[in-house]
Amino acid sequence: MKKLAGVTAVLVVLGMMLAGPAFARKYPPTKATCGVSDNTLAPGDEVTVSGENWKAETTVKIRLVPEQIVLATVTTDTEGAFSTVVTIPDDIRPGPHRIVCTGRGHQGGIRVLGTNITILGDVGGVGAAGIAGTGAPSTVPLWAALATILALAGGTALIFARRRQRGATVDRS
């Protein structure tokens, strides 16, 4: 039992060391961002495009690539942020695309940033809107994966410890 407690303690300490420290953002922020509220869309869908750390009170052009369709032109606020809702054209072909933001970065240089999206088409007679989604993120946070590994390791150690206790024979001579 003492070995099991020792193994569990080592695994907990190891997990804490692997988690790593949190890092504060550098000021002033130097990298502009361009993101979307949803990466899987259908023709006619609306999506929010937003960004931060652009040059304050300048324009950012939002395009759909590879077609080079201008979806919107927005003006950043006094902090260099923007957010706008755009509509995916009805006649867009299904497949991989990018939403690209072009404007002046925080330092004044031209920035061209984009994010990948997928445009869905008809699937077996069911429109793209009929495809179910869970709403779960596509990546599992590192801490959740680490907690799962630690729980499995602890459970495995417990099973082996109990089997070892049951398998031990007592010599009564």
Residue predicted with more confidence, 74 or 166: 74
Complete domains list, the chain, with CATH = 35-124 (2.60.40.1930)
What pLDDT shows up at residue 16? 61
Q: What is the mean pLDDT of the chain?
A: 79
Is residue 25 within 8 Å of 64, Cβ to Cβ? no
Structure-token match 């420290």, residue found: 21
Determine the average pLDDT of the residues in 99-108. Answer: 92
Residue 99: which pLDDT band, with cuts at 50, 70 and 90? very high
Peptide bond into 28 cis (omega under 30): yes
Average pLDDT over residues 118-145: 58
The answer to whether the CB of 58 falls within 8 A of the CB of 77 is no
Q: Which pTM was predicted?
A: 0.55
Question: Highest-confidence range of 71-75, 125-129, 169-173, by mean pLDDT?
Answer: 71-75
